[in-house]
Chain A
Amino acid sequence: EDKVVQSPLSLVVHEGDTVTLNCSYEVTNFRSLLWYKQEKKAPTFLFMLTSSGIEKKSGRLSSILDKKELFSILNITATQTGDSAIYLCAGGQMNSGGYQKVTFGIGTKLQVIP
């Protein structure tokens, strides 16, 4: 059974702290690792990772994938209250029909307090 496990499930930090969110995956025919930020409504796309060891950055957020150890991390430096959200990790894979499916983790709830 395909699964994506995120840790921690929840996290409370102070503004300015640096946080690391973890995602491990076991998906067949793995193609990509996706990170999303979900505030009040729909998830919004952060990163897509397909190659090991290549860090992707967007402002204070960065992410890296380790395809040998089957995990990814999402780092947020100098956190702000606007970073408070649920962060979702997902494994993209090809199914037997040749179509990609995505398996989501349950998310890490991050709360940044002033």
Chain B
Amino acid sequence: NAGVTQTPKFQVLKTGQSMTLQCAQDMNHEYMSWYRQDPGMGLRLIHYSVGAGITDQGEVPNGYNVSRSTTEDFPLRLLSAAPSQTSVYFCATRAWENRAYGYTFGSGTRLTVV
């Protein structure tokens, strides 16, 4: 049981390049989400999904696309990388337990855009 797996752990991109951050989970959680974490800003929600085929925007969706074709995978695509997207990205799932929701985070992807 690996939980939430993110790849890659580190990535350097040039401005304008595109790439996909991968997130996979083996807990059969319906809900998956992407956050970015920046100094002094806390964790901010980019996109989330409540099940296969269903996605919605979070707090900071611009410049990112997501899709959810399976329960297990929730990739985050950067269409044309910008220096402002330099950040640490976390994928998180959610499950109902003890009468409330609990979140499980992946180990993160540190992205630098130059």
Contacts and interface: CB of A to CB of B under 8 A. Distances in A.
A34 interface: yes
B104 interface: yes
Contacts of A45: 102-104
Contacts of A88: 42-43
Contact of B41 (A41, A50, A101, A106): A106
Nearest to B9: A41
A41 B98 contact: no
B107 interface: yes
Contacts of A99: 31, 48, 50, 56
- Bin chain B's interface residue count: 20 to 34
Main secondary structure of the interface of A (DSSP, over half): strand
B100 A31 contact: yes
B23 to A, nearest CB: 12
B94 to A, nearest CB: 7
Contacts of A48: 98, 100-102
A50 B99 contact: yes
B58 interface: yes
Interface string A79-114: 000000000101010000101111011110000000
Interface of B: 4, 31, 35, 40-45, 48, 50, 56, 58, 90, 94, 98-108
Interface of A: 4, 31-32, 34, 41-45, 48, 50, 88, 90, 92, 97, 99-102, 104-107
